[in-house]
Amino acid sequence: MTMLECYEEVVGRHEIDHLRRLGERLAGKRMIHINSTRKGGGVAEILEWMVPLMNELGIDARWETIQGNADFYKVTKSFHNGLQGLPVNLRAKDYELHLAVNEANAQQLNLEADYVFVHDPQPIYLPKFTAPGRVGRWVWRCHVDASRPDRGVWKHLAGALPAYDGAIFSMPAFTRPLEKPIFLCPPSIDPLSDKNRLLPESERLATLERLGVDPDRPMILQVSRFDRFKDPLGVIQAYRLVKSAHPELQLVLVGGPADDDPEGAEVLSEAMESAGNDVDLKVLMLPPDAHRDINALQRSAVIVLQKSLKEGFGLTVTEALWKSKPVIGGACGGITLQVHDYQTGFLVHSPAGAAYRIRYLLRYAEKRQRMGQTGHEFVRENFLLTRHLRDYLSLLLCLDNPGMDVLAA
């Protein structure tokens, strides 16, 4: 069975036919995706399925990565932070190193293609060092919120943008005014990945037992890093406000290890201290590849929370909606695009607000169910990888026909 046929079982024949039709218009076109790593991180996860699916659709797609030394990656990590608004302190030689590594990679890589998608800031200066005419269209794909960047970092990166034919951002709030077309393409989840696929009931129950969660009592869940912006203490506060009315309630806070993040370790310790010896409140630290455990927890929750104070797109919300769970989310970032009051869950602004909505949803099982169904369909329509692929194919057609609606009959 081909990859597309596997996804057809999830999204339906029309959706896959749609992709095939768009693919026919682009058949034989050469496309390169470039980023800085093949392992780890959201971009590599996307390219792992994006490139083979494009090839299945007849596009000659390749995935290249740039190479750099440790100093280069330190500088680009600062770019990453600076793009997202953290103040960074870079010197002229750091910017020069970035340019030099881009130049060296441009000389080594075979970049002859009709379209090149450059992902994030690490390879952003490749067009400057690539001979004219080798690439049909350059597109910069920015995966982070660049709306309020560090001024110095933005000044440096913006210098690369005149060479591009367009840029792609995940949502309008993440963009900056540019002279080029700014395409919008939200991220997506893979419904067949370990984190999102259906699990055998026996595995789900075994996971709950192993993690000490009672499968017979309602459980609410937040999956997120231990980060102040995710407000784990606010979630605990909300749980405590509900617990007296619903003594059977359990709360699970689950996140990944925070060894490389001193503040994360601090927030984790505060969360554990706040949990105290409440046996119904679990603060779990799972390894980064515990996707099936996360899946089992999400499928077992009656309500999923993402009570963030600041958020990117919030793919944990997407994952929960896909599993037909109502979501109570902080009214920020991409959560506002996914959580719609009384439709897929509730947006809240305080621990009290979260507590109130938890009580509401615990009381109305049929509303939970209806919101869960709506959320599942909402994700099917908008946030699965097939939509992501459709967006990319459609915008390639747009690039070839600038400024007009395209009839690709």
By CB under 8 A, name the binding residues for another protein.
12, 14-15, 17-18, 21-22, 25, 169, 172-173, 175-178, 181-184, 331-333, 336, 340, 342-343, 374, 377-378, 381-382, 390-391, 394-395, 397-398, 404-409
CA distances from 232 to 137, 195, 330 (A): 44, 22, 12
Calculate the CA 232 to chain-centre distance.
20
CB of 205 to another protein, least distance (A): 32
Q: How far apart are CA 72 and CA 99, in angstroms?
A: 10
Closest CB to another protein among residues 250, 308: 308
The string of DSSP codes covering 384-396 is: BHHHHHHHHHHHH
Comparison of 131 and 184: residue with beta carbon closer to another protein? 184
Beta strands (DSSP E) in 36-130 are: 60-65, 113-119
- Taking the least distance from each CB to another protein, the nearer of 255 and 375 is 375
Nearer to another protein among residue 49 and residue 183 (C-beta): 183
Q: Which phi and psi (to 5°) does residue 242 adopt?
A: -95, -25
Nearest distance from C-beta of residue 51 to another protein, angstroms: 20
Nearer to another protein, 130 or 308 (CB): 308
Q: Which is nearer to another protein, 151 or 217 (CB)?
A: 151
Beta bridge partners, 284, equal 254
In the complex, the smallest distance separating the C-beta of residue 169 from another protein, rounded to whole angstroms, is 7
Give the integer Cα–Cα distance in Å for 332 and 311. 6
Number of residues written out for the chain: 409
Nearer to another protein, 112 or 377 (CB): 377
Nearer Cβ to another protein (34/332): 332
Two tokens, residue 305:
């929370």
The nearest distance, CB 362 to another protein, in angstroms, is 22
281-285: strand order across its sheet: 281-285, 250-255, 219-223, 303-306, 327-330, 345-348
- Determine the Cα–Cα distance for residues 177 and 154; give it in Å rounded to an integer: 12
Q: Which is nearer to another protein, 209 or 381 (CB)?
A: 381
Tell me the closest approach of the beta carbon of residue 32 to another protein, in angstroms.
21
Q: Letter for the amino acid at 38?
A: R
Q: Least separation, in Å, of the C-beta of 152 and another protein? A: 21
Contact present, 8 and 108 (Cβ < 8 Å): no
322 touches 295 (CB < 8 A): no
CB of 166 to another protein, least distance (A): 9
Query: Would you say 76 or 344 has its CB closer to another protein?
Result: 344
Q: Any idea what DSSP says for residue 58?
A: T
> Shortest Cβ distance from residue 181 to another protein (Å)?
6
Q: How far is the CB of 14 from another protein (least distance, A)?
A: 5
Quote the crossing angle between the two packed helices 385-400 and 3-11, to the nearest 10°: 110
Asked if 7 and 192 count as a contact pair (C-beta separation under 8 A), the reply is: yes
| CB 15 to another protein: min, Å | 7
Largest CA distance in the chain: 69
Q: Which residue has tokens 């660049």?
A: 146
- Contact (Cβ atoms closer than 8 angstroms) between residue 187 and residue 170: yes
Backbone φ/ψ region at 276: left (φ over 0), alpha (ψ -120 to 50), beta: left
